[in-house]
Amino acid sequence: MKILFMGSAAFAVPSLDALVRSRHQVVEIVAQPDKPAGRGRHIHACPVAEFARSKGLALFQPTSVRKEESIEHFRSLAPDLLVIVAYGKILPIEIISIPPRGSINVHASLLPKYRGAAPINWAIANGEAETGVTTMFISEELDAGDILLASSTPIGNEESAGELHDRLACMGAALLMETIEGIENGELRAHPQDHSKATHAPILKKEDGHIDWKMPAAAIANRVRAFTPWPGTYTKIGDRTLRVHRAAVTQISHCGQPGTVIEARARLVIACGKGALCIDEVQIEGGRRMAAPDFLLGHKITVGTKFS
């Protein structure tokens, strides 16, 4: 089949790689435009654009897919199927309806749960035991199209969002190829989502990483994993930011106020709204990442210190 691929983020690269290696013809790759990033605001390409250039593949980076010239360009390619993976923009019906075999998407959750931009992060943050990937037909409503296939996986007790992202990206690539084969041979039938069971995974904001010590220790530990690598979790010691890179619930009885240090010798333990959190790895503002015991050797953190 002639396939038009649209993607931008790193999650899409394994799917694109699988398509390029297949017998199908990828007529073009559509990715977000290069843009400034980082402290120096240097121009950077998104991961899909980088991959396409490294392979010498046809690449199109429109500033807007809604412009008539973009839509006419896609029509001129006459794709049989449109595949969208982590493209980052909602497509108009004029594009969705171009391919005769339909427009399909790979989404990093078990739909209808966790529709939206950050399904991996919020699944971990909310303490889910499992997640997965789903392929579906694209509809005008976000992540609400008919489901084609789904594949589930347990979430590891210590697995971060970054680690789970990489696993699901590879799972998504395999599921995509299975889905395309089913569409091509006519054996795959889509079924509608149960919209009453839909939950949402909004885009992450930097402030999502600010630790609320009134939350249960287990919920904070989940957020530390969920927001790694971005936006990270952090608290305040006085006027300095302390980033928490790794933490775990500890079985200790305490009567401290949430955010109060209750151990600060061999380990750093903080009272929470319910239970206590043992911080394993930290990074003080302007410093390097280090194990909490090493951090305690160089910083005066005592029992009773209050984190904001």
Structural domains of the chain ordered from first start: 2-197 (3.40.50.170), 206-298 (3.10.25.10)
Instruction: Convert the pLDDT of each residue in 176-200 to its tens digit.
Output: 999 999 999 999 999 999 999 999 9
Instruction: Convert the pLDDT of each residue in 50-107 to its tens digit.
Output: 999 999 999 999 999 999 999 999 999 999 999 999 999 999 999 999 999 999 999 9
Structural element, H or E, at residue 36: strand 35-37
Q: What are phi and psi of 35, to 5 degrees?
A: -150, 160
Which among 212, 278, 280 has a CA at the least distance from the CA of 249?
A: 278
Secondary structure (3-state) at 61: coil
Instruction: Convert the pLDDT of each residue in 1-30 to its tens digit.
Output: 999 999 999 999 999 999 999 999 999 999
Measured CA to CA in angstroms, residue 112 lies from 9, 15, 50, 155 at distances of: 22, 21, 32, 18
Measured CA to CA in angstroms, residue 56 lies from 3, 5, 25, 49, 110 at distances of: 17, 15, 14, 10, 34
Q: Give me 65's structure tokens.
A: 């897919």
**pLDDT score, position 252:** 84
Q: What are phi and psi of 24, to 5 degrees?
A: -80, 155
Cα atoms found within 13 Å of the Cα of residue 21, Cβ hemisphere only: 10
Residue ranges of the alpha helices (H) in 78-150?
Answer: 93-96, 119-125
**pLDDT score, position 255:** 75
Secondary structure (3-state) at 238: coil
**How many Å apart are CA 48 and CA 50, to the nearest integer?**
5
Whole-prediction pTM: 0.96
Cα–Cα–Cα angle for 6, 12, 16, nearest 5°?
Answer: 70
Letter for the amino acid at 93? I
* Interval 159-165 mean pLDDT: 98
Beta bridge partners of 205: none
Helix then strand then coil, in percent of the chain rounded to 5, is 30, 30, 40
In this prediction, residue 254 has a pLDDT band, given cuts at 50, 70 and 90, of confident
**pLDDT score, position 257:** 94
Q: Answer for the pair 26, 3: CB distance below 8 angstroms, yes or no.
A: yes
- 229 prior amide bond cis, ω within 30: yes
Q: Give me 92's structure tokens.
A: 């108009």
Residue 191 CB partners (closer than 8 Å, separation 6+): 146, 147
Burial of 196 (0-12, 13-18, 19+ CB in 10 A): exposed
Which among 290, 299, 286 has a CA at the least distance from the CA of 246?
A: 290
Sign of CA dihedral 213, 215, 219, 222: negative
Please provide the average confidence, as pLDDT, over all residues in the chain. Answer: 96
Residue 167 CB partners (closer than 8 Å, separation 6+): 153
